[in-house]
Structure formats: structure tokens, C-alpha cells
């Protein structure tokens, strides 16, 4: 079985000192590396450009959402990581459907901007598209000048509405993970293009917290033909203790029941995204363990077709619809 993982902070990890070209030296503290992805047959990965307005020395940061140039630099710094990996023969950046279909042993990376501040204004969208960005989430938790985040509630700003329209025009997919409820509703009222949640779980099963998706939000994503990626952080899966494979299956079942089908679920592990393998579900500490999750779905009565959809098919169908057939001319 091969996999699509819809959320990994590869560039952030690399800039934080992780050598992704070799396996993690301590598998208890980290699990993500390019060799690990190849071993697990994670053939397509959504690699983030993760940025957040906070005045510290982390590789994702910049002083404030209004400091557009500093945010742009933070985004470009992470984009350079993926370009260096591609130049070194470690990955392929997937810009179009032809790239998705290419027969290669290298992980194909779909660039996902998590927090849109590096887009200095809506007129910047074309440049980021040319750079390979194919999915954009308007904010991380802290909020941006474009939208309220799950830790700083608020609607889309007027500029945010303009940005949504520019993203639609460019053919860029919207990621609703981390949006505040007001901003989520606004996005669905404005956007005409595909909307997904790359790494979000069920509010009903975890906590009344805007980081998780409410039942109506899950239905809304399903009604638009979107996909929700299962986040493997235990605290986002269970109210108490450490999650299990059964806990993961419960979230996937809940989403599928609300949507009325099993075509709207996939993986968005967020592995090493601020938590260690010890904080992932028991038996799912590494990508090589993902077969156990597929078996958990089989035990729950999912068909081979449904399981393949979760592992890769549902995300692949969305990408084939959303990405251009061929790479735009340089």
C-alpha cells in the first residue's frame, strides 16, 4: 500500500536542524525523514511553508502579520529548502497532474502554505503559484491580517476576502485547518474553489475547541467534495491519555458518517509537528506503522476500495481535479 500524507512540516524541521536526508537519530524523539517516507511508500506529501507572526528566533517567525516583507522572507526561506532537496535529487516538487503520475522513487512534494502572511497582497498570488504553491491555509493558530485563527477568533478581513478570490483565480486549493469558526464560515461563503482540511479531527470526539472541526463544518467540506486529513497528535484524537488505532478509526468513521460516504477522508499526520512519536497513537509512531491503521479500518468493516481511498485515493482524486494538467510555462 502506498500513502499520501497531507501535512508534514519538512522545511521547518530542516531549518530547525533536522537532517532529513538521514533517518532520525533518536526514533523516540522524531520520526520524519526522507528515507522514512520512502520506506513507508509515502509517495506524495504535502510539505508546508509554515509561518506564524511571533517575535522569536524560530525559522517560521516574523515580528507581526503587518510586517509583509519579513513574512515573505520567512516563506521564501522555507521554499528554498524544497528547492535544495529537489536540486539534490531527494524529492520532486509536484506542480501538475503530470508530476503526480510520474514514475519516480522520490517523494513528490505538493507545496502547502500554512499561514498566508508570506503572500504580501493578493497580487502576489501568481508569483507563489509560479514557485509551486498549490494549497494555502489563510492562517495558523495565531491569526493573520487575512483571517482569524483557532487561537485568535475572528472573520476574514476585507483583504482576506480579496485573497480568497485571487487564490480561486489561480487554481489554488484552500486549507481550512486552523481557521476560526467565523473565518471558516466566511471562506465557504466566498470561495469557489476546492476546500480541504489537511490536518484536522472531530470536535465532537475531542473538545469544544476551534482547532477541531464541528459536525456542520465536516458536512460542509464533504458537500464541497473536500477531504479531511487525520491528524495523528494524540491530544487531537482523545480526551484522555494516549490515542490508539481504534481512536483513529472512530474519527474516520465519524467524518464518513457525517459526509454520507468514505471518499472524504485521508491522512494528514502532522508528524513531528511540535510533538514526538511518543505523543502519536500507540502502534503508529512512525510512517512505517501506517499499515496497522489500514488494518484497523479493515477490522471495522471498510472495503479494500475504501481503505485505498483513505490511504491515497481520496487525496489523489482531489489533486487530479485541482492541479493543472501540465506545469505552467516558466
Determine if the pTM surpasses 0.75: yes
Count Cα atoms within 13 angstroms, Cβ side, for 64: 2
pLDDT of residue 58: 84
Positive or negative torsion for Cα 102, 302, 231, 171: positive
pLDDT means per 10 residues in the chain (330 residues)?
96 96 93 96 97 85 94 97 98 96 92 98 97 98 96 96 98 98 98 98 97 98 98 97 97 98 98 96 96 98 98 98 85
- Averaged pLDDT score across all residues of the chain: 96
Class of domain 3-322: alpha beta
C-alpha cell at 200: 484536522
pLDDT of residue 56: 81
pLDDT of residue 3: 98
What pLDDT digit, counting tens, does each position of 63-117 carry?
Answer: 999 999 999 999 999 999 999 999 999 999 999 999 999 888 999 999 999 999 9
What pLDDT digit, counting tens, does each position of 119-159 carry?
Answer: 999 999 999 999 999 999 999 999 999 999 999 999 999 99
pLDDT of residue 102: 85
Alpha helix segments (H runs only) across 181-326: 181-190, 215-223, 245-259, 290-299, 304-308, 314-322
Do the beta carbons of residue 228 and residue 255 sit within 8 Å? Answer: yes
Question: Smallest Cα–Cα separation from 211: which of 165, 290, 270?
Answer: 270
Task: Print the SS3 string covering 160-208.
Answer: HHHHHHHHHHHCCEEECCCECHHHHHHHHHHCCCCEEECCCCEHHHCCC
pLDDT of residue 9: 98
Amino acid at each position: 500500500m502506498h500513502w499520501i500524507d497531507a501535512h508534514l512540516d519538512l522545511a521547518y524541521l530542516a531549518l530547525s536542524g533536522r537532517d532529513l536526508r538521514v533517518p532520525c537519530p533518536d526514533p523516540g524523539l522524531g520520526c520524519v525523514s526522507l528515507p522514512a517516507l520512502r520506506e513507508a511508500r509515502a509517495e506524495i506529501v504535502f510539505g508546508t511553508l509554515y509561518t506564524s507572526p511571533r517575535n522569536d528566533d524560530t525559522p517560521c517567525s516574523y515580528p507581526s502579520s503587518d510586517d509583509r516583507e519579513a513574512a515573505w522572507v520567512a516563506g521564501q526561506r522555507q521554499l528554498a529548502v524544497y528547492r535544495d532537496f529537489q536540486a539534490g535529487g531527494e524529492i520532486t516538487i509536484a506542480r501538475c497532474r503530470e508530476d503526480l503520475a510520474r514514475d519516480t522513487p522520490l517523494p513528490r512534494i505538493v507545496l502547502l502554505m500554512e499561514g498566508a502572511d508570506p503572500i504580501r497582497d493578493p497580487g502576489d498570488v501568481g508569483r507563489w503559484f509560479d514557485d509551486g504553491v498549490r494549497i494555502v491555509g489563510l492562517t495558523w493558530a495565531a491569526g493573520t491580517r487575512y483571517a482569524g485563527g483557532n487561537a485568535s477568533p475572528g472573520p476574514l478581513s476585507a483583504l482576506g476576502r480579496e485573497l480568497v478570490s485571487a487564490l480561486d483565480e489561480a487554481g489554488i486549493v484552500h486549507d481550512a485547518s486552523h481557521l476560526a469558526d467565523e473565518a471558516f464560515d466566511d471562506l465557504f461563503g466566498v470561495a469557489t474553489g476546492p476546500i480541504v482540511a489537511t490536518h484536522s479531527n472531530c470536535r465532537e470526539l475531542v473538545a469544544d475547541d476551534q482547532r477541531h472541526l464541528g459536525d456542520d463544518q465536516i458536512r460542509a467540506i464533504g458537500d464541497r467534495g473536500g477531504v479531511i486529513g487525520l491528524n495523528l497528535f494524540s491530544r487531537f484524537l482523545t480526551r484522555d491519555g494516549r490515542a490508539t488505532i481504534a481512536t483513529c478509526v472512530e474519527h474516520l468513521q465519524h467524518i464518513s458518517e457525517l459526509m454520507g460516504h468514505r471518499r472524504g477522508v485521508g491522512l494528514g499526520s502532522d508528524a513531528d509537528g511540535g510533538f514526538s512519536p511518543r505523543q502519536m497513537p500507540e502502534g503508529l509512531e512512525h510512517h512505517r506503522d501506517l499499515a496497522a491503521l489500514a488494518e484497523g479500518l479493515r477490522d471495522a468493516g471498510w472495503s479494500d476500495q475504501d481503505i485505498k481511498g483513505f490511504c491515497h485515493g481520496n487525496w489523489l482524486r482531489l489533486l487530479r481535479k485541482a492541479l493543472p494538467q501540465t506545469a505552467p510555462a516558466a
